[in-house]
Chains A and B, each alone.
Chain A
Amino acid sequence: MRFHLDSDQTAIQDVVHGAVSSVLTRDKLHVFIDGNDDFEPDSWQAVCELEMAGLMLPEDQGGSGLGLVEAALVIESIGKAGAPGPFIGQLLTAIALSETDNDTARSAWLKRVASGEAVATFAFGGDWLPTGWTVSVEDGKASGEVRFVPSASAAKVFLTGTEGGGLALVEASNAVSVTPLKSTDRSRPASTVSFEEATAHELFPPGDDGVQRIFDAALVLLAADALGGAQYCLDLSVEYAKERKQFGQPIGRFQALKHQLSTMALNVEPARALVWYAAHAWDMKQEDAPRSAALAKAHLCDRFVEVARDAIAAHGGIGYTWEYGLNIWFRRSVFDRVVLGSPAVHRARAADLAGW
């Protein structure tokens, strides 16, 4: 039995966090969020150079043969660093290309996506759930509009949700137009993407089991991002409470604040094992994997929102500023909560899946 991180797994976290934070300095992150780009190449490059995008691919496909547990650790580090990405989209696209029966799509794109040469994002849209996806694909041409696509302007391919709940890989071209949205989450700005007969490879037909698997993986990765973000909010608040003095002493000495910080920790640390479990259940293709993914997504995203709010309260005035930067993570918590479906949606699904 082994249900805590081993040294290889902690190394993944450390390496990714180290690589991202060395290139994505605080100043640079602020420049990015104040700008109009939806893609930050340096942190992107740093992560892809670590061969993280292909880490879940089997070794004969050039990957590291690792699982969603490790992918979740990568995304957790990304969430902690507040890095733009689109890392979740990249990982998901690599998994989808690895698991599809469509050899043409795989040989054309898998290597490029796994190496990070081609940026890949996800374009699900609709009401987020596969049953609500709307893009139509006919004879290799995709048409339709998808809202809230992160890093859309940099993407070479879009992992796209299709009508009836299928997945297609749509290539960027003149037939794809990207209209930036004014996004709450400045670290992951999203766009509306329109496909007009854009070149598309069908990866999984509507209703295929593979679709639910990719979607479940997406839920777990989003939960992992929330975990990393929440951890960061906690760490920053604890650090601040030790330094900031009022009434002649560090504010962390005051019991009321100490208890607020303990509550934040109680929101973060136990949830970590839930993310691990959901990822592990997915890796083992367990029957409870979809339900665990849904509950993990719901739970973690609620926790992140709560901890991000508490972090700002714990800081006082400085926490409410643009400059200090906590709002970057607060805004990420807004993104994580709704993208792929809100906690209430996934709890309702979990109740259905239990057969209640």
Chain B
Amino acid sequence: MDLSYGDAAEAFRKDVRTFLKANWMPQSVEKADMKAYIAAFRKQATEAGYLYRAIPKAWGGSEQAPDVIKAQVIREEFGRARAPMEVPGNGMNMLVPTLLERGTDEQKALFIPKTMSGDYIWGQGYSEPGTGSDLASVRTRAELVGDKWIINGQKIWTSQGGKATHMFALVRTESDAGKHDGISYLLIDLDQPGVSRKPIRQMTGESGFYEFFFDDAETPASWIVGERGQGWNVSRTTLKHERASIGSAAMLGNQFQKLVELAGEMTRNGQSAIKDPEVRQALTRIEGWVMAHRYSSYRIMSSAIHDEEAGIISMMMKLLLTEIGHDIALAAQDLIDDEGLIEPEPAGTRGRGPEKWLDQIMGSLGNSIAGGTTNIQRNIIGERGLDLPRDLAMERGQ
């Protein structure tokens, strides 16, 4: 076993650091100019080969050979310097990889540069009021009339829905085809009379997701990714390129560290809570899981570097993260005790006390729903990981 990244990677790390030192100096920038400064920085970082590595130069990327370790070093160094990485969100995470694999040149030229620049912000239009876990049951439909798709229906729970300029959506286009074969993957401009949106207030009190209504909305005939009826398949596309990331392990590690700090700040039985034997047991019990998660992430990254399949462990990481998040939530709830009776001010507000943990306590519940519920994850582990026979009820539903 070898957890070091190797000499070549460390030399590369030096280059990245030198680059950041020379080019990321946010202290010297006025607040009003920050946006432009960040955009210019991203451009430089792309020219240096650090950002948008999977994207060909033709579409504005840096077109680098896939290298899991280099990608990781970049994440670590940018993280350390608090320098911005690629624009966050569904666009870069989901749509662009899909376009790179399945999109036409016209689509790539039209959408990739604007997504990279942050001009286009994408909503993921999968869920509908009647369609959640059973995603292939989508009912929003589109009909090709001349050179346009005419779209009618409704999408729901769209994250980033307030800011979104566009949506990639699963819609039914082939009314006489089967459940999966009737779906196409369409790109839709949300700024048009046929589209209206409504915020939905989340349990945290914030408006994190939206509902979208399509009433004879239009999209050009060429804004379909893949062929008609291949939308299901297209939506499963994930680019393998530098995918293995230990980002969530770092995030979880930080969260655990904060929990330990919280225990140091709160009191219990007249002493610092972290001195309490029960608290010490609770923290170290969680830490075993956090370590199992962290080193499993390294294991998956290592497999990716060596171009090997990691197996069942890769199907477990989402559920594992969710479950550990729940454990942390319960421990935090215990620690903040009656401070939890105070509703926290929104994230980013100064002067928030221990009640700010309610963000994590509630947010951890979102993890068990978004992106495939915990039950669905268990189905996947059981059926694809352990090779157990498929549920008859679900088979009948197909």
Q: A residues near B, CB below 8 A?
A: 1-4, 69, 238, 241-242, 249-250, 252-255, 258-259, 261-263, 265-266, 269-274, 276-277, 279-280, 283, 292, 295-296, 298-299, 302, 343-344, 347-348, 350-351, 354, 356
Interface of B: prevailing SS:
helix
Distance in angstroms between the alpha carbons of A261 and B69 in the assembled complex: 34
Q: Across the interface, name the chain B residue whose C-beta is closest to A298.
A: B288
- B284: chain A residues within 8 A (beta carbon): 295, 298, 347-348, 350-351
Stretch of B97-105, B107-115, B133-141, B292-300 that contacts chain A: B292-300
Distance in angstroms between the alpha carbons of A279 and B3 in the assembled complex: 12
- A292: chain B residues within 8 A (beta carbon): 291
Name the distance in Å between B9's Cβ and chain A's nearest Cβ. 8
A3 and B301 in contact (CB under 8 A), knowing A249-B389, A350-B284?
yes
- A249: chain B residues within 8 A (beta carbon): 389, 392
Distance in angstroms between the alpha carbons of A283 and B1 in the assembled complex: 10
Contact indicator per residue, chain B 271-308, by CB within 8 Å of chain A (1) or not (0): 00011010011011101110111011011011101101
Name the distance in Å between A64's Cβ and chain B's nearest Cβ. 16
B391 within 8 A of A: yes
Q: Across the interface, name the chain A residue whose C-beta is closest to B275.
A: A356
Distance in angstroms between the alpha carbons of A274 and B283 in the assembled complex: 17
Name the distance in Å between A274's Cβ and chain B's nearest Cβ. 4
- B319: chain A residues within 8 A (beta carbon): 266
Name the distance in Å between A244's Cβ and chain B's nearest Cβ. 12
- Does A265 lie within 8 Å of B312, measured CB to CB? yes
Name the distance in Å between A5's Cβ and chain B's nearest Cβ. 9
Of A2, A266, A343, the residue contacting B306 (CB under 8 A) is A2
Categorize the interface residue count of chain B.
35 or more
A-contacting residues, B300-328, CB 8 Å: 301-303, 305-306, 308, 310, 312-313, 316, 319-320, 323
- Does A299 lie within 8 Å of B389, measured CB to CB? no
- Does B316 lie within 8 Å of A273, measured CB to CB? no
Name the distance in Å between A255's Cβ and chain B's nearest Cβ. 5
- Does B303 lie within 8 Å of A4, measured CB to CB? yes
Q: B residues near A, CB below 8 A?
A: 1-6, 9, 69, 260, 263-264, 274-275, 277, 280-281, 283-285, 287-289, 291-293, 295-296, 298-299, 301-303, 305-306, 308, 310, 312-313, 316, 319-320, 323, 375, 377-379, 381-383, 385-393
Of B292, B375, B390, the residue contacting A253 (CB under 8 A) is B390
Q: Can you list 24 A-B contacts (CB < 8 A)?
A: A1-B5, A1-B301, A1-B302, A3-B298, A4-B299, A238-B387, A249-B389, A252-B382, A254-B391, A255-B393, A258-B378, A258-B391, A262-B378, A266-B319, A266-B381, A273-B299, A274-B291, A276-B299, A295-B287, A296-B291, A343-B285, A347-B284, A350-B284, A354-B260
A299 and B388 in contact (CB under 8 A), knowing A3-B2, A69-B1, A274-B295?
no
- A354: chain B residues within 8 A (beta carbon): 260
Name the distance in Å between A276's Cβ and chain B's nearest Cβ. 6
Name the distance in Å between A20's Cβ and chain B's nearest Cβ. 24
Given contacts A261-B382, A283-B1, 18 further A-B contacts (CB under 8 A): A1-B5, A1-B9, A2-B306, A252-B389, A253-B391, A255-B391, A262-B379, A262-B385, A265-B312, A270-B313, A270-B316, A273-B292, A292-B291, A299-B289, A299-B291, A348-B280, A350-B284, A356-B274
Distance in angstroms between the alpha carbons of A279 and B319 in the assembled complex: 26
Distance in angstroms between the alpha carbons of A65 and B383 in the assembled complex: 41
